[in-house]
Structure 1
């Protein structure tokens, strides 16, 4: 299991909580400006790379429980075991609804250029993808079947048959397999291609809290709040979390965000289980 723990530069600054609240509220108002009176978007929070209970995982769950906000946890099935699942279910028990869904199988990249093979995109290697065109259909189907079976056995009623592909990308063949295997939805970046089959709902993530690349914290915060405003202009908006990269500053932002959102009745905090169209 390999995950990154380094916080993005955005979270290497201690932000003032009161000022954060003001800026978040401004971003929410900007996002809601185009909505008719008494209507607004549904907002969900998706935590990726969930695999084992621990200090940062516990902190994330407590933030949602303390505010009664639903959370969807994307679990990499090959990383999970019975003791780990039991620990996660214990953390999930509380005021907030927490569901668990499939985040790939092993979270391993299979899209690497072979020796002598020309690179794509101006000399860059292929983008990372676990369920991409380099793998045979049977191999992808086997992994998806095994992933679903393991998640069902370990999480029971808390398992939701939604698929989040590692790195938020997969190929058309994988999407067809998901529909054939009775997955109900896929959650990727907003506007991700190829499009899912009609029987597979799309739950897009449009706001990225922790895997940001801006070197300047001010630029990072401006971009993050602009993402939030833009996402809230759409009917469904997902917020992506990586708890392993969530230091104190990032945790304070998440707490402040959830507290601020509670004051906007137009924004419905929803788990994927409750969003219509799934």
Structure 2
């Protein structure tokens, strides 16, 4: 897909941060994303790797959202607004998106309604018509005028296909802040919170009080109170971070007599600092709340409430209601009241695990992908073929038809995915994980134990859809000259094979997070001496994955059946017609036969990435397909119940391992 996201942040940078995170998630999943930003550039928002159009930026003074100001600080006049509309429509025409996402509008940004409506109405007039979606945070600020709420509902009904709510209703449903009508409620799609921060494991010994006050001048009151509290109780170990939108003169005045290092500008390693802090003091914007949830740091929240704002206070109260924070109302903020709240929270019990969904970036991509596929196949609409899926490779249509046939017979097609040769975190691994998360497809990542670098373990700690397996020991060939390559073939004594297999499991357990690693053996080159296979359960292995082969007592076995790489020729994509016709033919003759995809992210070219993305788009969205989690596939229960006695059969499509 091509996805255009339009956002204008007027006060802080939270709206832009979330929109940019979504754009990166679409790009990581193999889609094209264009971010059109109408607010001021924000230094802390990452723009690398994104297509970006910057409109003449607007901002507001204080909380006067009805009167946006232009780049020169004066009121945004008709000529400036007309220029922005023209640039926005040019971006739409040039990019020709499959989906248009408006951030906050039509639930907010009423002062900019003309440009958002111009974009949406122009999108509606295009052929084929793109999806039109609204993107909102977990909490909205509802107008006190019922007619304005009714107007937003009418625009959703007339112009929008869905509303993406980037929150978890288990914490706060949208109707806690916005009075929904029945039509709008039916169009809501909860994504979970959009967390793009790096995983930060909480320190075993936390220390100090970390204060952060947003990206702009709205946090000046909190900065001043925290600086005075640091003067009164310096022994608490204060570190105060001010946003880049705070004027330098204000920052200098606030910290004029504090020790060096006490107050500084916001830093990109904020989450790591948070994970090591004994306590956080902050406002309660969307991204701040996610940082707290991800780091499990005890918190005192001083929600921003100027100008009648209610968003942060409601979010803070919801977090406090679950025992995750203590709330100090902004109206009661002084250095003394802040110290009292800090000392009380330092003595309180640490927050319990919260279970709140932070997977909103990948789930947003999956939801939009599903909506796009549905829109192109809805009754009464002309289906627009994907250039890759059905124009360049007509066999994708055969695959879809075979799945449809299985569905009409109420048969389920099982699908699982394995990727080999992992050793280090890399852009290619990020792209692989992005695809898995975007399509909600679990993946088994076969890691080479002797080559595992620390960055791989850190990356897997934050990848919820990925489990690791043991890919031999060092991926060294021990076969004699002239024979097919093998690390664990029948060319060495069984004791040597056993020792190396045991060492592989031991090293993998030392270098990878325990929650990520499954005791599953994946032999390099998919070649394995039968005597070693029988010995694996005694070494601690519970599963085996190779090419289709016999069942092994004591092991759950699941083998790969579909390898898209032409290993003996171009080392690029094999003929997709042959690949997909084989899969479709297999499904037609035996829908119970699972599809086991085998990939190698370190050597993929664009053709292979494109094929995998298209394949996942069809399989993950089809109602007849069951996505099988490797953790379930290789569970101890499967072994103990005798499931190990039945391997997952497949074709001979796998060429290499």
Using structure 2 for the length normalisation, give the TM-score: 0.35
| 1:182 matches 2:550 | no
What is the CA-CA distance between 1:27 and the residue it aligns to?
1.9
Match for residue 141 of structure 1?
Answer: 498
Q: Does 1:198 align with 2:556?
A: no
Deviation at 1:214, TM superposition (A): 5.6
Matched, 1:84 2:442: no
Give the counterpart of 1:30 among 392, 402, 408. 402
Residue matched to 2:422: 50
Worse-superposed segment, 208-217 or 103-112: 208-217
Matched with 1:102 is 470
Relative to structure 1, the CA distance from residue 237 to residue 107 in structure 2 (aligned partners, 3 Å threshold; closer, same or farther) is same
CA contact (8 A) 1:204 1:236 kept: no
Q: Which residue of 2 aligns with 1:162?
A: 520
Determine if contact 1:77/1:105 at 8 Å carries over to the other structure: yes
What is the aligned partner in structure 2 of residue 6 from structure 1? none
Give how far 1:83 is off. Answer: 3.4
Is the contact made by 1:40 and 1:235 (CA closer than 8 Å) also made in structure 2?
no
CA distance in 2, matches of 1:251, 1:215: 15
1:32 Cα offset (Å): 6.8
Does the 8 Å contact 1:175/1:196 carry over to 2?
no
Q: Report the alpha carbon displacement of residue 41 of structure 1 after superposing the two structures with TM.
A: 2.5
Q: Which of 195, 203, 210 is equivalent to 2:565?
A: 210
Check if 1:16 corresponds to 2:373. Answer: no
1:41 to 395, 410, 413: 413
The correspondence for 2:442, drawn from 57, 70, 82, is 70
Taking a change above 3 Å as real, the CA distance of residues 77 and 247 of structure 1, as seen in their structure-2 partners, is same
Work out which structure has the larger RCO, using CA pairs closer than 8 Å and 6 or more positions apart in sequence: 1
Q: Deviations over 1:17-60 (max 9, x none)?
A: 24268632422433674688222231111001111111111111
Moved more, 255-264 or 71-80: 255-264
Match of 1:131 in 2: 488
The separation in 1 between residues aligned to 2:515 and 2:469, in whole angstroms, is 11
CA shift for structure 1 position 78: 0.6
Partner of residue 150 from structure 1, selected from 507, 523, 533 = 507
Q: How far off is 1:87 after superposition?
A: 3.0
Is the 2:445–2:468 contact (alpha carbons within 8 Å) kept by the matching residues of 1? Answer: yes
1:219–1:162: structure 2 CA closer, same or farther, 3 Å change rule? Answer: closer
Aligned residues: 246
**Equivalent residue in structure 2 for 1:248, among 606, 619, 622:** 606
User: How far apart, CA to CA, are the structure 1 residues paired with 2:605 and 2:558?
Assistant: 27
* 1:105–1:147 contact (8 Å) kept in structure 2: yes
Partner of 1:8: none
SS of 2:514's equivalent? helix
- Distance in 2 of aligned mates of 1:174 and 1:54: 32
Cα 1:138–1:32 shift into 2, 3 Å: farther
The unaligned stretches of length 5 or more in structure 2 are 1-385, 645-657
CA deviation profile, 1:213-251 (whole Å, cap 9, x unmatched): 466999711221134325544433310001122222222
Larger Rg: 1 or 2? 2
Q: Deviations over 1:128-179 (max 9, x none)?
A: 1111222122211111111111222322011111111111110111102212
Contact 2:393 2:576 (8 Å CA) reproduced: no
Partner of 1:73, secondary structure, is: strand
TM-score, length-scaled by structure 1: 0.79
Instruction: Describe the SS at the equivalent of 1:268.
Output: strand
Mark the runs of 5 or more structure 1 residues left unpaired by the alignment: 1-14, 114-124
Q: Distance in 2 between matches of 1:34 and 1:206?
A: 19
Task: Say if 2:589 is the partner of 1:226.
Answer: no
Of 80-89 and 139-148, more deviation after overlay is shown by 80-89
1:18/1:139 CA distance change after superposition, 3 Å = closer
1:112 aligns with 2:480: yes
SS in 1 for 2:446: strand
Distance 2:586 2:598 in 1: 12
Q: Establish whether residue 260 from structure 1 lines up as the match of residue 618 from structure 2.
A: yes
Distance 1:230 1:140 in 2: 38
Q: Which moved more, 1:235-244 or 1:32-41?
A: 32-41
Q: Provide the rounded CA distance (Å) in 1 between the counterparts of 2:527 and 2:500.
A: 16
In structure 1, what is the Cα distance between the partners aligned to 2:439 and 2:420? 20
Q: Deviations over 1:82-127 (max 9, x none)?
A: 333223434x24xxx21000111111111114xxxxxxxxxxx111
Instruction: Return 101-110 or 130-139, whichever deviates more.
Output: 130-139
